[in-house]
Chain A
Amino acid sequence: QKEVEQNSGPLSVPEGAIASLNCTYSDRGSQSFFWYRQYSGKSPELIMSIYSNGDKEDGRFTAQLNKASQYVSLLIRDSQPSDSATYLCAVNQRGNQFYFGTGTSLTVIP
C-alpha cells in the first residue's frame, strides 16, 4: 500500500469551473498535509498547508482534511488556464518524513 495515493488524472475542467483534487494517506500518525503545484519543467511550489480537520481557504483554493477517513482534498474555484499543472499531495509523518503522491494532472480549458 502506498503511503499517499492520488488519482493520476488527467483531470480536465472548463475555465471558471471548480476543480476537485483528492488524496488519501495510509499512516494515521500523519501530522501535516500539503498541496504543491508543479508546472512542467519546474520545481514544486506550495499552494496550501493544513494541519487540523476541516476546511482551510486561501483565495480560490480550499483544502479539506478528514483525519478519520485519512483523506485530504483541494478545491480550486473559478479555475483559470494558469491553474493547469500537476498537483502533488504531500504528507508529513513522524520525524519529518515527507511522502508525496504521484500527482494529478489538471488542464483548465479556456
Chain B
Amino acid sequence: NAGVTQTPKFRILKIGQSMTLQCTQDMNHNYMYWYRQDPGMGLKLIYYSVGAGITDKGEVPNGYNVSRSTTEDFPLRLELAAPSQTSVYFCASTDKSSGNTIYFGEGSWLTVV
C-alpha cells in the first residue's frame, strides 16, 4: 500500500550543487505535482504533469526542472542549488479514479548551505 513515495527524505546541499528528488506512485494516477512548503507557509506549486510526456510550470518553477517519462515517476531536478531553495518538498498525485483527491508523499527536507 505504498501510494506516493519520495526519496531522499533528508538532504543537505552546498550552494551550486545539483540534485534530483525522486517521486514514484503506484496508483496509476495521471496527474502528478511537486510542491514546496517553507516554514509556517502554505504549499506552492512548482511543476505539474497531466500524463507521461507532459509537464507544465506552476507558481514557482525557477531553479527547477521536471520530466515525466512514465506514468509512475515524476523526478524534480534542482540545478545550481541556492539557499532560497531550502524547503520541504512534497510530491503528490491524483486522478478521477480517486475522486480527484490529492495524495501526498511523506516529503523531502532539503537544506542548502
Contact = CB atoms under 8 A, between A and B. Distances in A.
Interface of A: 31-32, 34, 42-46, 49, 88, 90, 92, 95-98, 100-103
B2 to A, nearest CB: 14
Nearest to A95: B50
A43 B106 contact: yes
B90 interface: yes
22 contacts: A32-B100, A34-B101, A42-B106, A42-B107, A43-B90, A43-B105, A43-B106, A44-B43, A46-B101, A46-B102, A46-B103, A88-B43, A92-B100, A95-B50, A96-B50, A97-B48, A98-B45, A98-B102, A100-B35, A100-B43, A101-B42, A102-B41
A25 B107 CA distance: 26
A34 B102 contact: yes
The 4 A-B residue pairs with the shortest CB-CB distance in the complex, in nearest-first order: A102-B42, A43-B104, A100-B43, A96-B31
Contacts of B43: 44, 88, 100
Classify the interface of chain B: helix, strand, loop or mixed. Answer: strand
A49 B99 contact: yes
B34 interface: no
Interface string B42-66: 1101001010000000000000000
Given A96-B100, A98-B45, 9 more contacts: A43-B104, A44-B43, A44-B90, A46-B103, A49-B101, A96-B94, A98-B33, A100-B42, A103-B42
A33 to B, nearest CB: 10
A44 B104 contact: yes
A43 B41 contact: no
Contacts of A92: 100, 102
